[in-house]
Amino acid sequence: MTRSENIVSRWSRMKQQSARPAAPDDLPSESKPIDAEAGDLNRATAAAPATDPPASPAFDLASLPPLQSITAGTDIRSFLASNVPLELTKAALRRAWVTDPAIRDFIGIAENQWDFNDPNAMPGFGPLTAGDVPGLAGLDETEQAREVTAEAVGAERASATRQIDEIDHARAREYSLLAALLSRSPDAQMIEHLVRLGGDATPLGAAHAALGTAAASIKAEQIEREYFDLFVGLGRGELFPYASYYLTGYLYGRPLARIRETLKQLGLERTEGQSEPEDHAAVLLEVMAGLASGQIVAPDETQRTIFETYLRPWIGRFFSDLEHARSAKFYACVAALGRIFMEVEAEAFSLSK
């Protein structure tokens, strides 16, 4: 810039120079146009062989064991493979957990389960009394054994004098039928038995006839699939047939602890291989069948206690939910039978007070 060139002239000259396109000779020898570089990249990409990602092995359902066969000791690593559907993996894990006593029987602290302002509300946390000391020292074990023996002898004598009439036998068969249908899907032999069910003009008889018609018209495979969708499912079934769930909104709640304590007093314990907790509808119905038939030795009022305390508060809602479940066709008839029979039992127990 010369001395005579003012700032305006200099700005105009530089503006004109920047507006002119650069000559080809002005390009550095090592630079390339952007389009040329893109063309080289495209040619390099086309020359490179295309490689597909490794395909996952095809999923074969037959290679997996049935979900119902899973126990606490089953190796379920085959369900954890990447090609297994996520819902099926969750169902296998859930089955393994509910069959493991360490997980299944755990009853933890839940909201509103205990009154933490009252130490006596939590078993094992209340203050010691004078009567607790002999038990802690093991001094009253002999006395407790004598009391248990005396109670057992008294119950056996009461059972020997109790006459099981035809109505009790019919009630026991009804309870056993419902318990069997809720514990598993019926096999071919049970379906044949259901087809032969007779009915009459009573609501209970009409429910029997409807169940027999459903057993004759629906294939066994469809019934099995229906049971799976309702009570097992991929991840969870459509319904939870547990007292704890209907009474508290969650599984393995305080009702289960109370049921276990009552059954323990009757001398009933979970059999080995039984995965369902004791508040399952099928378990409670089977207990009622044993009491009605006299196979479970107990005083006469035990039937009313079990029914009024552990079945009546929720079993009607469960059967109503099952009757209107989306997947229920055959089991809608099972639910109708259960609902009507529970209504008959509730009325009978109320009249016999």
How confident is the model over 275-309, as pLDDT tens digits? 788 999 999 999 999 999 988 888 888 999 999 99
Percent composition of the chain: helix, strand, coil (DSSP 3-state, to 5): 60, 0, 40
User: Which whole number is the average pLDDT over 192-196?
Assistant: 92
182 versus 68: which is more confidently predicted? 182
Name the pLDDT band for 239 (thresholds 50, 70, 90). very high
**267 vs 128, more confident:** 267
List the structure tokens of 186: 């019926």
Please report the pLDDT score of residue 88 as a whole number: 84
Please, which pLDDT band fits residue 233 given cuts at 50, 70 and 90?
confident
pLDDT-derived band at 132, boundaries 50, 70, 90: very low
Sort 159 into a burial class: Cβ within 10 Å, 0-12 / 13-18 / 19+: middle
Cβ–Cβ contacts within 10 Å for residue 178, how many? Answer: 24
pLDDT at site 73: 82
Non-local (6+) Cβ contacts of 338 within 8 A are 178, 315, 319, 322
Higher pLDDT, 248 or 110: 248
Q: Copy the structure tokens of residue 76.
A: 């379920």
Whole-number pLDDT of residue 20: 65
Residue 243 backbone class (left: φ over 0; alpha: ψ -120 to 50; beta: rest): alpha
Task: Let me know: does 147 contact 287? Beta carbons within 8 Å.
Answer: no
From the CB of residue 191, how many other CB atoms can be counted at a distance below 10 Å? 19
What was the pLDDT predicted at 133? 43
- What is the Cβ-side half-sphere exposure of residue 115, based on CA atoms within 13 angstroms? 6
- Please say if the pLDDT value at position 273 is more than 80: no
State the average pLDDT for the chain: 77
How far apart are the C-alpha atoms of 129 and 186, rounded to whole Å? 53
The pLDDT-based confidence of 353 (bands split at 50, 70, 90) is low
Query: In sequence order, what are the residues at sequence separation of 6 or more whose Cβ sits closer than 8 angstroms to the Cβ of residue 59?
Result: 83, 84, 85
* Residues 223-232 pLDDT 10s: 999 999 999 8
Higher pLDDT, 104 or 83: 83
330 versus 2: which is more confidently predicted? 330
Cβ–Cβ under 8 Å, residues 296 and 152: no
How confident is the model at residue 61, as a pLDDT?
75
Residues 46, 53: Cα–Cα separation, whole Å: 18
Q: In the predicted model, is pLDDT for residue 127 greater than 60?
A: no
**What SS3 class is residue 5?**
coil
Which of the four pLDDT bands, split at 50, 70 and 90, describes residue 149? very low
Residue labelled with tokens 């010369």: 2
Q: Is residue 325 a contact partner of residue 331, using CB atoms and an 8 Å limit?
A: yes
* 0.75 surpassed by pTM: no
Non-local CB neighbours of 222 within 8 Å, separated by 6+ positions: 329, 330
- pLDDT bin (cut points 50, 70, 90) of residue 142 is very low
pLDDT of residue 153: 44
172, amino acid identity? A
Q: Tell me the H-state helices in 20-140.
A: 34-47, 86-98, 101-104, 132-137
Q: What is the pLDDT of residue 74?
A: 87
Taking the C-alpha atoms of 18, 24, 29 and 32 in order, what is their torsion angle to the nearest 10 degrees?
Answer: 80
Does the structure show a pLDDT above 60 at 37?
Answer: no
pLDDT category of residue 346 using cuts at 50, 70 and 90: very high
